[in-house]
Amino acid sequence: MTLKIYDWHNGPYPARVRIALAEKGLQSQTCFVSIDLRKGEHKTEEFRAKNYSGTLPVLELDDGTLVAECTAITEYLDALDGTPTLTGRTPRERGVVHMMSRRAELEVLDAISIYFHHATPGLGPHVEVYQNQEWGLYQRDKALRGMRYFNDALRGQPFVAGQDFSMADITLIGGLIFAEQLKVSVPDECKALVAWYTRMQERSSVQNWRTMSA
């Protein structure tokens, strides 16, 4: 079995799938195909035939099946060996993991993404055909509020969804990677969030995602 991943080497959304691949020990079974975001290759008709949304990453299976969206790809990867470790083992765990992962998307990662595309040069004028700076700045502030929310959550538990590392942690890591790239600092009072992120960066899957290749 070969897993073909269309992504971009330092993209924060691709980072989520790369970290999941490393956590599941699937690097040796994975082939990466680079799609240049700054050249707008993800918006071409050719790529949209693989993913209508024109976003990265996308997983292509040996039989030609295409799976887009980080959560869906992570679900697939986590289920391959019959022993899920990232998406929850029990109905309760699955519910909490998916809830917290979605909150990490909405409140931090996607908010930072909107800030990037609307209130910074983004991917350049040939890709950013419409920008609304006011909306982008509002989303940056939303991301900061989201960081405070997760700081409060992490005061009483070691990981975003409770006692175990999960997809929810990976999603929030993606958000903080994007924030770092854009120099959006975690609020000074978010000590628990900073301590958690420091611990997460000690995981080999998080340390090595940018250089992953196969």
Return contacts of 123-128, CB within 8 angstroms, 24+ apart: 123/37, 123/38, 123/40, 124/38, 126/40, 127/37, 127/38, 127/40, 127/43
Quick one: 65 and 156 in the same domain? Answer: no
Say how far apart CA 183 and CA 175 lie, in whole Å: 12
Distances in whole angstroms, Cα of residue 122 to Cα of each of 31, 99, 132, 152, 173: 28, 29, 12, 31, 20
Q: At 55, is the secondary structure helix, strand, or coil?
A: coil
- Total structural domains within the chain: 2
Same domain, 128 and 166: yes
Specify the residue for token string 């420091």: 198
Residues 72 and 95 grouped into a single domain: no
Q: Are residues 102 and 185 in the same domain?
A: yes
Per-residue confidence (pLDDT) for residue 213, from 0 to 100 = 67
In this structure, the answer to whether residues 103 and 19 fall within a common structural domain is no
H or E segment at 169? helix 167-181
Which of 111, 129, 131 minimizes the C-alpha distance to 120? 131
Are residues 47 and 148 part of one domain? no
User: Residues 117, 178: one domain?
Assistant: yes
Answer yes or no: do 138 and 183 share one domain.
yes
Type of residue found at 131: Q
Got the DSSP string for 27-51?
A: GGGEEEEE--TTTTGGGSHHHHTT-
Which CATH number belongs to the domain containing residue 154 in this structure? 1.20.1050.10
Q: What was the pLDDT predicted at 184?
A: 98
pLDDT in tens, the chain (214 residues): 899 999 999 999 999 999 999 999 999 999 999 999 999 999 999 999 999 999 999 999 999 999 999 999 999 999 999 999 999 999 999 999 999 999 999 999 999 999 999 999 999 998 999 999 999 999 999 999 999 999 999 999 999 999 999 999 999 999 999 999 999 999 999 999 999 999 999 999 999 998 886 4
- Pair 82, 148 in one domain: no
Strands 58-60 and 3-7: antiparallel
Domain assignment of residue 121, given as a range: 91-203
